[in-house]
A and B are shown apart, each in its own frame.
Chain A
Amino acid sequence: MTAVLLDPREHDETGIAELASESVVVFDPHGKIRYWNPAAERLFGWPALTVQGTGLTELSSSPADEKRAWSRLLQEGWWQGRVGRRARHGGIVFADVRRHLRYDAAGEHRDTVEFARPAATADIPQAGGHPISDRMMAASWVIDVSPASEIVARITARVGVANRHELEDLHCRLVEASRIVEVNERSARLVGGNRGRALMAGQSVAAFWPLASRSMLGALIVEALGNEHGGQCRRQLASDGILRDPLVSVWRAGDERPGHLFIAVNGAADDDRSYLFLRASEARYRKLVDYMPIALWQVDASHMGKIYAGLRADGIVDFERYLEEHPELVDHAAATVPVTDVNRRAIELVGGAGVQDLIRPVGYLFDASPDSLRRVMIGRFTGKKNYSELMKLRTLDGRVLDVRFSVTYPEPRLELDTTIFSLEDVSDRLRMETQLRQLQADFSHAARVSMLGELASSIAHEVNQPLAAIVTNAETSLRWLARDQPDIDKVEQLTARIVASARRADEIVQRVRGMAVNQAPDPVELALNEIVQESLLFVRHEVEMRSVRVTTSCARGLPSVIGDRIQLQQVIVNMLINAVQAVEGCDEPRREITIATATNDRGDLLCTVGDRGPGIATDHLDRLFEGFFTTKAAGMGIGLALCRSIVAAHGGDVSASNRPGGGAEFRVVLPRAGSFAAAGDIAGEAPGPFAAQAARSA
C-alpha cells in the first residue's frame, strides 16, 4: 500500500484524489478540465498538464452525446452513464462515469466532479484497483519553442544538406533556446533538484534535460512541429541514469497556444530504491540543504565546460595566461553562468528579498573581487575537485563582507553539470582576529620596550664608547692641524677612526630602534643563525659585564624560516636575558650560558638556550609561559608569555625544562620555510591575494 508524503505546499484534498484508483476529474462550470488525477492519466493516457483547461467536449469521441449529458447534469445535479473519450495513444477509451455538481457557500455552481472506471467491455488494461504509483506516471512538460524559431527555420532549411554533426548541434541549440512553461511534480522531482516546479518555469529546457538526449529531443520537437495533424511523435531512449528505457512523446499544444509543445516521458525511475524511500530521503535532503547554516549556490556552468574542452583541444595549457590575454572570457562567465538554486542562508547573506533576487548570472557574487572568479575558472580548467579562498562579497544592499568562498566542481561525465558554491561570512571572525593581532603586536612592542629598559644602561654605555672616541679623535685632529706644520697623515688616520666609530654608533642605534619602534610584523625568509648572532649583540655588553661565558654552537646548512626578524630576535634576546639573570648570582665557574641551533627529526628548526643557574622550580614549570607569571621582584611576567604567542604565530612551539646537570633549558621549535603558511598569521593580513596564496599552498 502506498503511504502519503504530503508536501506542505500541496492542498490536503488534492492529495486524497491523487491516491484514488478511480479516475477523478474536476470540471469548472464551463466544462473545462480543472483537475485530472493520476488514475485519469493512466486511464486516458493524457498527462494532467496537457489537458488542463481543455473542454469536456474536445476530448469526447461523440461531442453531441457529451453536450446532452452535460445539460442533464446541470438539471439534475448529477449524471451517470458511459462516455467515449479520445486517448493519447490515438484510440477511444470507454468509461462508466458518475458526475456530481458541487456548489459554493453562495449556492453557485462551483465545479463538477467526475468519477470514472473503464467500461467492462472496453479493450484496455484493467486498473487493478490500485492507486497509480508515481513510478508509472509520465514526467510531463509544457515548453515554449517560439524563442527558438530561427533555429527551427535553419534546421528545416538544412535537412538533407547538413551532416549529422551539424544537425545534432542545431538540435541541441534548439533545446537550449526553448523555455519551460510548466512541468509536473514528477519532472520537477526527477530533474529539478532542489528548485521545485515554480523555479523551473521560464528557464531553458537544456538546464534540466539530460545532456545525452538533448539533440534527440530537438529532433523530436522539429518532427512534432512539422506533424500536420498535431499527432504525437515518440522515441524510445536508452536508460539515462534517471529513467529506465524511457519513452518520450512530443506533440503540439494546439492552435490556441502557438509555439507550445507537450512532452511526456514514461518510464520507471532507474533506481532500485522504492519511490517512497527516495521521496522521503529527497525531502530530508531538501530540508537539510535549505536550512544549512552555510549559504549555498547551485550554478550551471555546463556551457563553460564545453568552452574549456574546446580550449584544451586547441592545445591551451596555461589557462592563467590565456585568461590574462582574454579577460572577456571571465566577463562572459560572469554574465552567462546562471545560478539555478540557492538556500535560505544564501538569501540572508546577500540580503535579497527572495530566491528570485539570487537566481541570475553569477557575476553579482564577484562584484567586489573580480579576480576570484578568474581563480575559480582556473580551478575548473585545471581539473580540481574544489577550490577555496577568502574574498570580499558585496551584498545586494551594498555592504561588503569578508567571506570564505568555496566551490565544488562537477564530476566529469555526470549528466547534469552542477557546480556548488558555498559562502561563509567570516567578517566578524576576521575583525576579531585583527583586533587580537593588534593587541598582541602592542603587547609584544610593550615587552620589547621593557626589555630594552632592562638593557638601557648597557646600551647607553655601548653607544657612548664610540661617541667618546669620536670627540677625542676630532679634538686631537684639530691639535695636529693647529701646529705650524700640520701632520696631514696623522689627521687622515684619525679621521678614518672617527668614521669607523660613527658607523659603530649608528649600527647600535639602528639595532635598538628596530626593537623600539612599533612596526607591523613583516614575514620574510630568514636564517636562524643570523637571528641568533644579532640577538647576541644585544646582550654582549651585559654578558661581558657580568663575566658570563657564552658558548655558541650554530649548525651549518640549516633550512630557512619564514618569520618577522624583530619578533624572533625578541624571543631569543628574552631567553638570553633570562639566562644571564639566572647565572649572574652564581660562582664564576657556573656563570655560563649556551645557545645552539639545530634541526629536529622532522626537519624543523630548533634553538636552545641553556644556563647553569639554579634551574626552574618544578611547580613553576607548568606556569612559566602564563601571562603575568613571574619570579622576579620587578618582573611583569609578560616576556615568556609573549615568546610563546610569537612562536605560536610562527607555527612553532616553545618549552622549558631543567637540565640534568643543573640549570634551565628553553627550546624553541620553528617550522622550516615551506612547511607552514603562517605569513598571514604573522602579518595579520586582511584577506586578499596573499592570504589566498597562503591558503592554497597550505
Chain B
Amino acid sequence: MPELPTVAIVDDDEAVREAVEELLMVSGLACHTFAGAASFLAARTSCRFDCLVTDIRMPGMSGIELIEYLHDQGVHLPVIVLSSVLDQQVRAHALSLGVHSWLTKPVSDERLLGAIAAVIGDGAGSEQ
C-alpha cells in the first residue's frame, strides 16, 4: 500500500491550523502542522512532504520569506498559499516564484482540497 501523501501546514493561528488539519484528515490526507516557518524548515530535515500550505503574515519569518527561501534553495515542493493578504503585488511575486495556488481566507473546503489534489495528483507532488 502506497504511503499517504503528507501535507505541511504553516500558520501562526492555532485555530486555523487545527481546522485545516481536521479537514485534511477527513479527506484521507496525512498532515503536519507548524506554528511558524522556522519550525517547518527544521522538520524538513527529517520528514518528507508532498505539499506545503502556508499563511503569509506571520511573526518572525513571513510566508513570502519562506517561499523565497525554498525557491533560492531550489527545493521542488508544491506550495499553496492560504492567507488574508489581498495585496496583488505580493500575490504576483509569490506566483512568479512558482506558487501553485493563492487562496484567500476563508476558503471553501472544495477549493482547498481541489488545489491540494491538483498538485499531488499530477505527480509533481513529491520532493526530490
Residues of A within 8 A of B (CB): 460-461, 464-473, 475-476, 479-480, 490, 494, 497, 500-501, 504, 544-545, 547
Contacts and interface: CB of A to CB of B under 8 A. Distances in A.
Q: Which 6 A-B pairs have the closest CB atoms?
A: A468-B105, A469-B15, A471-B106, A472-B19, A475-B109, A468-B106
A642 B77 CA distance: 52
- Select the residue from A461, A468, A475 with max chain B CB neighbours within 10 A: A468
18 contacts: A460-B84, A461-B85, A465-B13, A465-B84, A468-B106, A469-B16, A469-B18, A472-B19, A472-B22, A472-B106, A472-B112, A476-B109, A480-B26, A497-B18, A500-B15, A504-B15, A544-B12, A544-B59
Nearest to B20: A472
Interface in B72-128: 82, 84-85, 105-109, 112
A500 B13 CA distance: 13
A266 B82 CA distance: 108
Contact of A497 (B15, B57, B60, B112): B15
A476 B23 contact: yes
Nearest to A541: B57
Interface residues of B, number: 23
Contact of A465 (B15, B22, B23, B26): B15
Contacts of A545: 57, 59
A476 B82 CA distance: 17
Contacts of B23: 472, 475-476, 479
Nearest to A461: B84
B46 interface: no
Contacts of A460: 84
Contacts of B27: 479
A467 B16 CA distance: 9
Nearest to A475: B109
A546 to B, nearest CB: 9
Contacts, number: 71
Nearest to B87: A457
A591 to B, nearest CB: 12
Contacts of A547: 59-60
Contact of A464 (B12, B26, B84, B108): B84
Contacts of B59: 544-545, 547
A467 B22 contact: no
Nearest to B82: A468
Interface of B: 12-13, 15-16, 18-20, 22-23, 26-27, 57, 59-60, 82, 84-85, 105-109, 112
Secondary structure at the A interface, as helix, strand, loop or mixed, is helix
Q: Which of A461, A465, A501, A545 has the most CB of B within 10 A?
A: A465
A467 B13 CA distance: 12
Nearest to A458: B57
B57 A469 contact: no
B108 A475 contact: yes
A390 to B, nearest CB: 53
B106 A467 contact: yes
B73 to A, nearest CB: 23
Given A467-B105, A490-B26, A501-B15, 14 more contacts: A464-B84, A464-B106, A465-B105, A467-B106, A469-B15, A471-B108, A472-B20, A472-B106, A472-B109, A476-B19, A476-B23, A497-B18, A504-B15, A545-B59
Nearest to A463: B84
B15 A466 contact: yes
Nearest to B15: A469
Given A460-B84, A471-B108, A476 B15 contact: no
Given A476-B22, A476-B23, A480-B26, A465 B107 contact: no
Nearest to B11: A465
A50 B67 CA distance: 117
A469 B26 contact: no
Contacts of B60: 547
Nearest to B110: A475
A471 B105 CA distance: 9
B19 A497 contact: yes
Contact of A494 (B13, B22, B82): B22
B54 to A, nearest CB: 14
A341 B101 CA distance: 91
Contacts of B22: 472-473, 476, 490, 494
A501 B18 CA distance: 12
A476 B106 CA distance: 13
B10 to A, nearest CB: 14
A521 to B, nearest CB: 34
Contacts of B82: 468
Given A461-B84, A479-B27, A470 B57 contact: no
B16 A472 contact: yes
A466 B27 CA distance: 22
A466 B19 CA distance: 10
Given A475-B109, A476-B23, A480-B26, A468 B16 contact: yes
Contacts of B112: 472
Contacts of A472: 16, 19-20, 22-23, 106-107, 109, 112
Contacts of A497: 15, 18-19
